[in-house]
C-alpha cells in the first residue's frame, strides 16, 4: 500500500514538473503514473550500474555527475515512452530531474506521519534525561 501511495505522489510530482518546465511534454496523468513506475524501475536497475561505471567522474566532480546520470535516466524514460512523454533537450532533462527531486522530497516530507518525524527540539538535562 505504501508503494502505491509513493507512486501516486511521484506521478503528481511528474505532472507538476512537466507543467512548470517548458520543453517537457506529458500527454496525460496516466502517462505520469507509467513514467513514475518506469523511473522507479530504471533507478533500481540501470542507475546503480551507471554510478559504478562513472565513479571516477563522480569523484572528480564531487558528486555533481550524479545529476547527469539522473538526466540520462530521464532521457531513457522519454525514449521508452516516446509518444506520451518527451523532453526537448538534455538540459531540460537535467532541470526536470532536479525539480522532480525537490518536489518529491517536499511530498515525502509532507507524507511522513508527524509522530514519526524527528524534527522537534530535544533538550536534555545534565544527567541525560529528556526535558522537552
Question: Sorting pLDDT into bands at 50, 70 and 90, what band is 132?
Answer: low
Average pLDDT of span 15-24 = 94
Question: Can you give the pTM of this predicted structure?
Answer: 0.80
DSSP 10-35: HHHHHHHHHHHSTTEEE--HHHHHHH
β partners of residue 130: 124
Query: CA-CA distance, 95 to 87, in Å (whole number)?
Result: 10
What are the residue boundaries of the structural domains of the chain, listed by start? 2-113
Percent of the chain with pLDDT over 70: 90
DSSP state of 50: H
Q: Do residues 18 and 26 lie in contact, with contact meaning Cβ atoms separated by under 8 Å?
A: yes
Residue 127 has pLDDT above 80, yes or no: no
**pLDDT score recorded for residue 120:** 62
pLDDT digits (tens, 9 = 90+) for 72-126: 999 999 999 998 999 999 999 999 999 999 999 998 888 776 556 565 667 777 7
Percent of the chain with pLDDT over 90: 74
Question: Sorting pLDDT into bands at 50, 70 and 90, what band is 48?
Answer: very high
β partners of residue 24: 87
**pLDDT score recorded for residue 111:** 78
In the numeric block, the cell 517537457 is attached to: 24
- In three state form, how does the secondary structure of 58-118 look? HHHCCCCHHHHHHHHHHHHHHHHCCCCEEECCHHHHHHHHHHHHHHHHHHHHHHCCHHHCC
Q: How far is CA 60 from CA 49, 54, 94, in A?
A: 18, 10, 19
Amino acid at each position: 500500500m505504501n508503494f502505491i501511495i509513493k507512486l501516486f505522489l511521484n506521478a503528481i510530482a511528474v505532472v507538476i514538473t512537466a507543467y512548470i518546465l517548458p520543453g517537457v511534454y506529458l500527454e496525460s496523468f496516466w502517462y505520469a503514473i507509467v513514467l513514475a513506475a518506469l523511473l522507479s524501475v530504471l533507478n533500481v536497475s540501470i542507475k546503480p550500474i551507471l554510478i559504478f561505471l562513472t565513479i571516477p567522474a563522480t569523484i572528480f566532480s564531487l558528486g555533481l555527475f550524479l545529476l547527469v546520470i539522473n538526466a540520462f535516466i530521464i532521457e531513457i524514460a522519454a525514449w521508452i515512452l516516446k509518444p506520451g512523454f518527451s523532453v526537448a533537450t538534455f538540459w531540460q532533462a537535467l532541470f526536470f530531474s532536479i525539480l522532480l527531486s525537490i518536489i518529491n522530497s517536499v511530498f515525502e516530507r509532507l507524507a511522513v506521519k508527524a509522530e514519526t518525524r524527528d524534527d522537534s527540539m530535544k533538550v536534555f538535562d545534565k544527567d541525560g534525561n529528556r526535558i522537552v
